[in-house]
């Protein structure tokens, strides 16, 4: 990960290049020793500080040094930000310097969990009644789809030794945007939660207990949250969704903007996951430079916002799995994973 020649290609002076390489080597060494990026105690402590209404929070970096962050938008970024959010950096993000600002890896806020500032979009303007009507229509389409049948089949037949008492969802999107492709996807994905509950109860994996459902997505507004509660899904603020994940949880995640897979792998391994397919391996990747016809230089990021990792691949070896066939393209490339004491895969 800390290749001198790759960093040297970024055009920095030798002293800065050496500092960056040493920092990347240090990160890689900590990671190889098994140090978690996202330990539960760190997220619990951050959640507590936010709940206490503090103006500032302290978050330990990868070296366990407390760093202070303001929860009030600083004056230097009020022209583009009106709120804060928790920023989670995958091992890929920590280990692969961006060519735009490679020196960022030397900053104190180059850490797995930080606070960053952003401009939140306002409420969608949709009413609860309008959202309900759109959801009912899309739910019916989902219930009659091949995707619904496929999901039911795999949840009923994949080998598992787990019991499931809750479903925690990440990144399913706002329900209030009532036009276009994203609306169809969001409503279908939320409707699939009901299918999961019914399938797990029918199979008896809940062991007679109620299956509680939670959803975390910073894009939810108050109307989204009210509607979610009306269909039996409890909306949670970040990071409380992650803190709900335990050995009796099914994690449902669709192309999130945070590294859900790597966060979950550092927490308690869940009973099951329905999330983007984990690739068997990956080659050493770096930013790819591209030059447009007009001479403009751009860069392509070598990893997604929710990348796989060695830890994630090691975790799923304990799960039976089957690919979710999504003929309506409302979910993307997802796989269903269910915990089993021996690695097994579905036909």
CA separation, residue 300 to residues 76, 98, 283, 289, 303 (Å):
28, 10, 16, 7, 9
CATH annotation of 128-339? 3.40.50
- Measured over all CA atoms, what is the biggest interatomic distance in the chain, rounded to whole angstroms? 64
* Most confident listed range (92-96, 249-253, 292-296): 249-253
Residue 17 CA to residue 217 CA, distance in Å, equals 38
Task: Output the pTM of the full model.
Answer: 0.93
Q: How confident is the model at residue 1, as a pLDDT?
A: 45
Residue 273 CA to residue 262 CA, distance in Å, equals 13
Contact 71, 88 (CB under 8 A): no
Q: How confident is the model at residue 185, as a pLDDT?
A: 95
| pLDDT tens-place string over residues 147-184 | 999 999 999 999 999 999 999 999 999 999 887 788 89
Q: How confident is the model at residue 291, as a pLDDT?
A: 85
Instruction: State the pLDDT confidence band at 328, using cuts at 50, 70 and 90.
Output: confident
Residue 332 CA to residue 330 CA, distance in Å, equals 6
Q: How confident is the model at residue 197, as a pLDDT?
A: 98
Instruction: State the pLDDT confidence band at 345, using cuts at 50, 70 and 90.
Output: very low
| Poorest-pLDDT segment among 27-41, 92-106, 209-223 | 92-106
User: Can you say whether the dihedral through the CA atoms of 145, 149, 150, 151 is positive or negative?
Assistant: positive
Residue 1 CA to residue 209 CA, distance in Å, equals 46
Whether 5 has a pLDDT exceeding 60, the answer reads: no
Cis before 239? omega within 30: yes
Q: Which tops the pLDDT comparison, 8 or 275?
A: 275
Number of neighbours of residue 261 by Cβ within 10 angstroms: 25
SS3 state at 281: coil
| pLDDT tens-place string over residues 249-267 | 999 999 999 999 999 999 9
Residues of the chain with CATH 3.40.50: 128-339
């Amino acid at each position: 990960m800390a290749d001198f020649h790759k960093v040297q290609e970024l055009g920095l002076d030798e002293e800065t290049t050496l500092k960056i390489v040493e920092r990347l080597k240090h990160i890689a060494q900590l990671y190889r020793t098994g140090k978690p990026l996202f330990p539960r105690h760190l997220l619990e402590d951050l959640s507590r500080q936010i709940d206490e209404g503090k103006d500032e929070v302290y978050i330990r970096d990868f070296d366990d040094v407390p760093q202070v962050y303001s929860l009030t938008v600083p004056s230097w970024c009020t022209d583009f930000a009106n709120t804060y959010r928790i920023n989670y950096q995958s091992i890929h993000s920590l280990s692969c310097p961006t060519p735009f600002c490679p020196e960022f890896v030397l900053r104190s806020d180059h850490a797995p969990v930080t606070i960053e500032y952003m401009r939140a979009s306002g409420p969608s303007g949709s009413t609860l009644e309008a959202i309900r009507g759109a959801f009912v229509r899309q739910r019916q389409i989902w219930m009659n789809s091949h995707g619904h049948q496929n999901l039911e089949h795999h949840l009923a037949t994949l080998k598992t030794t787990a019991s499931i008492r809750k479903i925690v969802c990440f990144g399913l999107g706002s329900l209030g945007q009532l036009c276009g492709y994203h609306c169809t996807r969001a409503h279908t994905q939320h409707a699939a939660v009901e299918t999961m509950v019914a399938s797990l109860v029918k199979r008896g994996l809940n062991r007679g207990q109620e299956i509680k459902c939670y959803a975390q997505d910073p894009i939810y507004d108050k109307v989204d949250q009210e509607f979610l509660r009306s269909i039996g899904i409890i909306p949670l603020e970040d990071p409380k969704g992650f803190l709900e994940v335990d050995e009796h949880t099914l994690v449902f995640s669709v192309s999130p903007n945070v590294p859900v897979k790597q966060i979950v792998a550092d927490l308690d391994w869940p009973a099951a996951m329905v999330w983007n397919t984990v690739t068997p391996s990956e080659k050493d990747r770096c930013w790819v430079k591209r030059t447009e016809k007009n001479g403009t230089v751009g860069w392509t990021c070598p990893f997604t916002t929710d990348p796989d990792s060695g830890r994630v691949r090691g975790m799923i070896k304990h799960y039976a799995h089957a690919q979710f066939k999504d003929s309506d393209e409302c979910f993307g490339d997802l796989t269903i994973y269910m915990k089993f004491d021996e690695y097994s895969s579905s036909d």
